[in-house]
Structure 1
Amino acid sequence: MTWFRALLAAGLSVIMPGAGHVLVRDWLRAAVFAGLFFIASALFLPIDQIAAAGPITSYDGVLEQATIMAEETDAMAQFLLSFIALFAAIDATVRALGYPPGSDTKTEGLMCPECGKEIDGDLEFCHWCTTRLDPESADEETRQA
């Protein structure tokens, strides 16, 4: 299930940077990647020419706007937008697999089986990702630590 979630997060981030982070409930990173992508799009895409082509009402309208974007956008802008999408996909994949940045493998408390963050043993759920914790899994986590 974790690999499926990671691949889904990566795919969503390629389509729209930040969407994969929404899947893994990392709201701040989702906002940062989506904002970065929208700002870069506004700065580098020929929005005035795309808007002049008119609204998309058919398949031909989609092709016309895609052709304008491909022909009027320089290679550096295409590289920048692709880089943002790729970086967002890699980051969402790593976050979905449960490797939070700056964490070490030696933790003294209980770990959430879903997000991998340290949790309070008195709670019945993870206060980070809201995953319900079974008493049996909490005992198993204690034995593994």
Structure 2
Amino acid sequence: MTWLRAILAAGLSVIMPGAGHVLSRDWLRAAVFAGLFLAASAFLLPIEQLAAAEPTSYDEAITQATAMAENIDPMAQFFLSFIALFATIDAAFRALGYSSGSTADEATCPECGKDVDEDLAFCHWCTTRLESDTLDPEKDS
């Protein structure tokens, strides 16, 4: 289930950077990646060409979109692709449970990898039932 979640998070981030983080309920990273991608798109893409042309048919719209894609600077394509790739990799790792801020002393959920309250019998992030021996980090030593 964790691998399926990671693949789904990565796929969503390919479509729109930040969407995979929404799946993992990582709201701040979702907002940062989506905002960064949209700001870079607004700054780097020739949107004024698209706004000036009003297509009247489907074929005309495809022709204009193709012309706009051909006029994009290769450096702009690189930056947008880099943001999308980084968001995809980050969303996949976060969905697998690799978090950058947890320490070894804190109790974590064995299913989602997020910090849990030791007084609860379940993970409040993914609702996985927790056994008392899985929460004690000193018993593994």
How many residue pairs end up in the alignment?
138
Query: Do the aligned partners of 1:121 and 1:138 also contact (CA within 8 Å) in 2?
Result: no
Note if 1:10 corresponds to 2:7.
Answer: no
Query: Do the aligned partners of 2:118 and 2:135 also contact (CA within 8 Å) in 1?
Result: no
Query: Do the aligned partners of 1:2 and 1:96 also contact (CA within 8 Å) in 2?
Result: yes
Q: Distance in 2 between matches of 1:97 and 1:142?
A: 19
Q: Distance in 2 between matches of 1:56 and 1:28?
A: 40
SS in 2 for 1:111: coil
Q: Output aligned runs, 1:1-145, within 5 Å.
A: 1-54=1-54, 58=58, 60-104=59-103, 107-127=104-124, 129=125, 131-134=126-129, 137-142=130-135, 145=140
User: 1:10-42 CA deviation, whole Å, 9 max, x = no partner?
Assistant: 111111000000011100000000000000000
User: 1:41-86 CA deviation, whole Å, 9 max, x = no partner?
Assistant: 001111010112226863x254224313311111000111000000
Q: Unaligned 5+ residue runs, structure 2?
A: none
| TM-score between the two structures when normalised by the length of structure 1 | 0.82
RMSD value over aligned CA atoms?
A: 2.2
| TM-score between the two structures when normalised by the length of structure 2 | 0.85
SS in 2 for 1:119: coil
Cα gap change, 1:100 to 1:56, in 2 (>3 Å): farther
Q: Distance in 2 between matches of 1:63 and 1:28?
A: 35
Query: Do the aligned partners of 1:110 and 1:138 also contact (CA within 8 Å) in 2?
Result: no
Q: Distance in 2 between matches of 1:54 and 1:65?
A: 9
Please tell me the residue identity of whatever aligns with 2:33: F
Please tell me the residue identity of whatever aligns with 1:15: I
Cα offset for 1:101? 0.8
Cα gap change, 1:86 to 1:56, in 2 (>3 Å): farther
Q: Unaligned 5+ residue runs, structure 1?
A: none
Structure 1 vs Structure 2: percent identity of aligned residues?
A: 63
Q: Distance in 2 between matches of 1:90 and 1:14?
A: 10
